[in-house]
Structure 1
Amino acid sequence: MGSSQTKTGRFPDFLGIGTTRGGSSWLYKALSRHPDIWMPPVKELNYFNKLGDGTRTIAMTSPRVLMVRARDYLRGERRNSTQDSLGHTLAWDWHYFFGPRSIQWYTGIFRPREGQLTGEITPAYAIIPEEQIQRINSHNPDLRAVYILRNPVDRAWSSIVNHLARKQRRSIDQVPPEAIARKVAGIAEAARAQYPANIRRWRSVIGQERLFIGYMEEIKQDPAELLQRICSFLGAPPAPPETLEHILAPVNTTRKHGGAMPQEIRYELSKNLLPVMEETAALLDSPYPAQWLETARSVLAQEGTEA
């Protein structure tokens, strides 16, 4: 697979485009461990969804990103994704945080060694407008994209727990019910929940053959098999055994903050997201969206019978 080069850097070979709370952290971890793939030390570059050209990333970044980078240095984990020397890693961080954002800044982030593929993962790219996708495609007409989907009801609950509980360092049981109700009511309108629209928009620019659709169920059931299919799609050699050893543990979970989804919340989310699931099942030739739809209809039917 070819890669687009610029005078000052290299445009990525692939993008992970989503979805939030849908396996993007697992994908980043898995690809970072692959010896034939170079991933940036920071997972989400957020360039095409937050252009901010001319500003420095340090002015746009969250304290969490700075803390994670500091932790990586303190724990000796700074080389996990790049396997670069300390000098090269420090130079990368200087470029990333203090270089003025531009397409030259963006391409300067990617520093693979000869023979390596390179890419980045920003879940927010799934919802960027078509003109931004066209811009991406103009820089690399061979670029491939990976979109991992999750049952919309489960993804919505995980997102609610993440925003209202995990990020606040509390249990979801401590969150006021009205705050949860507001999130539940608005979840179906959120662009991140609109899988069919996002898929059609990306396909309209890069084509169906360059967009890989995977599922959270595959990460849970057989992550090694999914990773090998992604590697094949990207044009990378199969992941070696030492890479596969690192992809089995859950990544970035909300379990200790959320617990099981209350049945009344599952009912409301199923009702609100039913049209999305119907359209997704019709669009994609996969058993997983069909299972999501069947489960949602079962929940709605059960509640209707009890009522």
Structure 2
Amino acid sequence: MVGATRAGTTYLHHLLASHPDVFMPWIKELHYFNHDGRYASDLSGYLPMFDGYHGEALIGEATPLYCEKGVYFDRDGRFRFFREETTMARIARHFPEAKIIISLRDPITRIPSIHKKNFYQGKISTRLSEEINREMSGGSDGMNYIFRNRYDVHLEDVYRHFSKERVHVMIFEDWIGDVQRGMSGVSEFLGIPSLDVWPDIPDKKNTVGEYKKDHRPFEGIDPIDWDQALKNKVLDELAPMRAYVETLLGRAMPWETQK
């Protein structure tokens, strides 16, 4: 599972890990192929992460940053952008027959979700409007939220390395409203029996509430300060992306439009 962040991947990881035919490491987000301090061509640091495998039909992992083209961590663990070699290229080099799952979320709700997480974890101290305006002015030293939501760019990189038959694209707003149907689609794609989603399985959808606890206090600053005018500018920037995804999936997206 290679993406996207803040699009229900923690919940999907939990559901897949509970399937008897699937082995998933207990730890989500291994960050092996997108971390220059961990990646090695012999996979010497990767294979031990799957200790505990007991012959399940499928083995997988979930690191939702993998799908973001050119996004990586350098050897010192610093978040970087625009590397020529992509994470998907590395994955395809070692596992060309892998099956890829991607969950996409409306950028207008995903962007503030990413920003809140980063803010409450103390990774940034800027307001969302500052990040957006800096990127739209040509700056590339921020969080690059618009680029990170160019699903067309990221999916093209995925398809450059994996055929469309090996890629399953989900829409967060659709499957989170009918998890059983969503998991049935995943199971069919993976070729395994469908998993019954029981009511007592905890909802692992990521929310900012998970991060406010035990992280930097709110400090009286509202990190989400964009207005409709700024949202409309972002929607303009992402219009080619939306058209691409709607053409790819053959239907309109249940995402916010300009007002």
Instruction: Provide the TM-score with structure 1 as the length reference.
Output: 0.63
Who is 1:37 aligned against? Answer: 22
Change over 3 Å in CA distance of 1:265–1:37 after alignment to 2: same
Whether 2:74 is the aligned partner of 1:124: answer: no
Who is 1:82 aligned against? Answer: none
State the Cα deviation string for residues 178-222 of structure 1 (Å, max 9, x = none). 722122223766542110111111112110000100011123210
Who is 1:252 aligned against? Answer: 206
Aligned length in residues: 225
Q: Is the 8 A contact 1:23 1:219 kept in 2?
A: no
User: Higher Cα Rg: structure 1 or 2?
Assistant: 1
Match of 2:100 among 136, 145, 152: 145
Whether 2:47 is the aligned partner of 1:107: answer: yes
Alignment of 1:1-307 (within 5 A): 16-53=1-38, 103-111=43-51, 112-128=53-69, 132-164=87-119, 166-168=120-122, 179-185=127-133, 186=135, 190-242=146-198, 245-246=200-201, 249=203, 251-254=205-208, 263-288=228-253, 291-292=254-255, 295-297=256-258, 299=259
CA distance in 1, matches of 2:177, 2:103: 14
Q: Is the 8 A contact 2:2 2:65 kept in 1?
A: yes
The amino acid of 1:254's aligned partner reads V
Q: Is the 8 A contact 1:196 1:280 kept in 2?
A: yes
The amino acid of 1:195's aligned partner reads Y
CA distance in 1, matches of 2:232, 2:190: 38
Query: Runs of 5+ in structure 2 lacking a partner?
Result: 71-84, 136-142, 213-221
State the Cα deviation string for residues 70-118 of structure 1 (Å, max 9, x = none). xxxxxxxxxxxxxxxxxxxxxxxxxxxxxx9950221222242123311
Instruction: Provide the TM-score with structure 2 as the length reference.
Output: 0.73
The amino acid of 2:238's aligned partner reads L
Who is 2:215 aligned against? Answer: none
State the Cα deviation string for residues 23-82 of structure 1 (Å, max 9, x = none). 11111111122222111121001111103248xxxxxxxxxxxxxxxxxxxxxxxxxxxx
CA distance in 1, matches of 2:175, 2:46: 30
RMSD: 3.2
Change over 3 Å in CA distance of 1:197–1:132 after alignment to 2: same
CA distance in 1, matches of 2:197, 2:9: 21
Seq. identity, %: 24
Structure with the higher fraction of residues in helix conformation: 1
Query: Runs of 5+ in structure 1 lacking a partner?
Result: 1-15, 55-99, 170-174, 300-307
